[in-house]
A and B are shown apart, each in its own frame.
Chain A
Amino acid sequence: MSLLSARNLELSFGGIRAVQDVSFDVEPGEVFSIIGPNGAGKTTIFNLISRFYDMDSGQLNLDGTDLGRLNAHDVARAGIARTFQNTELFEHETVLQNLLIGCHVNRRTGLLSELLHLPGTAKQELVFRQIVEKVIDLVDLQAYRYQAIGSLPYGVRKMVEIARALCVRPKLLLLDEPASGLNPEETEDLSFWIEDINQDHGITVLMVEHDMNLVSRISNRVLAMSEGKVITIGEPADVQNHPEVLEAYLGVAEDAA
């Protein structure tokens, strides 16, 4: 059974049909990429999965859970963590604090226990810290632990955001343009980390990305869309050479018609 299944998703903003009859399945353990020109509706699909938008119609299922019934803040608990296109970190806090906030879904303590810092809270802090430290080791953030986000370079912030999402310990990780703004070297590192996360930690990855190099290297399958509609789903190489995909990106030669 697929991990995430989307059936006939529809969403309009006024007269603009941002997502039209989109269906796809993400299998457990795969890296699934969504590509398409600007305004194709890729991020909108992410926002539907995150429940930031209500879909007009359609079905979203994660491992048997109907996502449509959840609140936005319950999606993380269901097993989905995400990053954002332009990074949405907690700017005034340190990397450590950001990652600890990522552990929030594992909270078991009540307000009273926290106010008095009872042993339960102290123990939970240790558990959170161990989760955080594992993630820090995974993505090599040791040097930045106590630095405020505001003082970090963009490439590191991107990694902190992925690390924060990993602290949720998700089944499905949504990466919204993880390579945007990174230099080629950082993109190279990123591709290795995504492979690590996917293969060694068994986290399924759903990614929106423009860098075709990165997409074809790490994705198992690719979905291409344009103007809210799915063009094709398939192996990276096939999708890249699909005539309609080429048309969506490059347009049609005038004499071809």
Chain B
Amino acid sequence: MRFIFKTRYEQDSRLIKHRGQLFWYALLLLTLLVAPLVLDRFYVGEISFVFIYAIAGLGLMLLTGYTGQVSLGHAAFLAIGAYAHAYLLAKGLPFIVSLPAATILTGVVGAIVAIPALRLVGIYLAIATLAFLIIVEQVITRWVSVTGGGRGMLVEPVEIFGVALSSPGRFYFLCLVLLVLSLLGVMNLLRAPTGRAMLAVRDSEIAARSMGINLARTKATAFGISAALTGLAGVLMAHHTGYISPEAFTLTISIQLLLLIVVGGLGSLHGVIFGAIFVGFLPQGIALLRDVLPPAVGQLPGLEPGIFGLILILFLMFEPHGIYGQWRKVRQFFSELPLYRKATYKRQKTYLRTERVR
């Protein structure tokens, strides 16, 4: 077991708490830096995709996992980011301008969507955001002069100051840098008043108000930042596929993002990464599985969504804290090895209202 001897208050707001963490995160970063040199092009592309998913998941996690606002409309923010960026690039703006412009635009749209959503909670908010997604889908399909309608749009390759970044190897680094920056931004937010206000709104709106937290502003901020991050992921996704069309931004994508944060572990940033790896690689795993299974099962058309759904249900039943929850348990088991108590994480029913976990 590790005991951290605290002598200064700053230690509690540091991002890296001790040397062990520094070592492992440095090792992880190093591995990620070396990976594209070693791995096959195909896998480099797949890992970039995981990074993109992680950025979008980070956006949804901030809104749902930390602020407690459910959204089924995040595919719409992905679409707005992707289309805005593709349009601006086509108009001749350089990538370095178009990327932040598309991100900020999506953030502003998100904050505006929050205004009608402020009075809605739970299932009603989910339905309202779903309606928003449907509206955006329709707008994209009909606004042919900007979006190309059902024909879709080609996305021009990435170029920063004349350096082409469109090869899988280089694009990988672009995604990695943006993911790390997004993560740092969200981590900073969560150790500052704005982030804490979000946690407060999630746990008790009435107490948050009596502590002087402006609910409307906090929710609008959460929606705005969440949408901006998802829009950023949309920009990268547009480049990853090189071509965007309305079919790429359906309700299925929103649900995949929800799956990502629930399976990863609601309310944790580790969960975002675990969830992104899971959602990013599961289709590959299922494709491999198809070859192994007997053809009668392996060739079933609904196998993929079926397995996604099954996994979601199993997680909700047996591990509501997601992969990150499981990870913590395993880690604690090893760190306390001879003294580990079997009942440490035993789940029990709670009866007092204040003890119930939402």
Bits for A83-106, please: 1 = Cβ < 8 Å to B, else 0: 010111111110011001111110
**Residue B214 lies at the interface, judged by CB distance under 8 Å to chain A:** yes
**Residue B21 lies at the interface, judged by CB distance under 8 Å to chain A:** no
What chain A residues lie within 8 Å of B192 (beta carbons)?
109, 114, 117, 121, 125
**Residue A126 lies at the interface, judged by CB distance under 8 Å to chain B:** yes
Question: Is the CB–CB distance between A93 and B193 below 8 Å?
Answer: no
| Distance A133 CA – B6 CA, assembled complex (angstroms) | 14
| Distance A82 CA – B188 CA, assembled complex (angstroms) | 29
Among residues 214 to 228 in chain B, which have CB atoms less than 8 Å away from a CB atom of chain A? 214-215, 221
What chain B residues lie within 8 Å of A111 (beta carbons)?
194, 221
**Residue B10 lies at the interface, judged by CB distance under 8 Å to chain A:** yes
> What is the interface of chain A mostly: helix, strand, loop, or mixed?
helix
Question: Is the CB–CB distance between A107 and B193 below 8 Å?
Answer: yes
| Distance A96 CA – B12 CA, assembled complex (angstroms) | 10
Instruction: Evaluate whether A86 and B354 lie within 8 angstroms (CB atoms) in the complex, with A93-B203, A97-B199 already known.
Output: yes
What chain A residues lie within 8 Å of B197 (beta carbons)?
101, 104
| Distance A61 CA – B199 CA, assembled complex (angstroms) | 31
Instruction: Evaluate whether A76 and B211 lie within 8 angstroms (CB atoms) in the complex, with A89-B354, A114-B188, A115-B188 already known.
Output: yes
Give the interface residue-count category, chain B: 35 or more
**Residue A72 lies at the interface, judged by CB distance under 8 Å to chain B:** yes
| Distance A50 CA – B9 CA, assembled complex (angstroms) | 33
Question: Is the CB–CB distance between B188 and A73 below 8 Å?
Answer: no
What chain B residues lie within 8 Å of A235 (beta carbons)?
none
Question: Is the CB–CB distance between B207 and A74 below 8 Å?
Answer: no
Most chain A C-beta atoms within 10 Å of own C-beta, residue among B208, B211, B221: B211
Bits for A139-171, please: 1 = Cβ < 8 Å to B, else 0: 000000000001000100100000010001000
**Residue A197 lies at the interface, judged by CB distance under 8 Å to chain B:** no
**Residue A130 lies at the interface, judged by CB distance under 8 Å to chain B:** yes
Question: Per a CB cutoff under 8 Å, which of B200, B212, B267, B355 touches A76?
Answer: B212
Most chain A C-beta atoms within 10 Å of own C-beta, residue among B10, B202, B210: B210
Question: Is the CB–CB distance between A101 and B206 below 8 Å?
Answer: no
| Distance A73 CA – B205 CA, assembled complex (angstroms) | 11
A-B contact pairs, 11 of them (CB 8 A): A88-B207, A97-B199, A101-B199, A101-B200, A101-B208, A101-B211, A111-B194, A116-B185, A121-B188, A124-B193, A133-B9
In addition to A87-B354, A88-B206, A122-B10, 12 A-B residue pairs with Cβ atoms within 8 Å of each other are: A73-B209, A73-B212, A73-B213, A76-B212, A88-B210, A89-B204, A90-B200, A90-B203, A101-B200, A101-B211, A109-B192, A125-B13
Nearest first, the 7 closest Cβ-Cβ pairs linking A and B are A76-B212, A114-B192, A90-B203, A88-B207, A105-B212, A117-B188, A129-B9
B residues near A (Cβ < 8 Å) are 9-10, 12-13, 185, 188-189, 191-197, 199-200, 202-204, 206-215, 221, 267, 352-355, 357-358
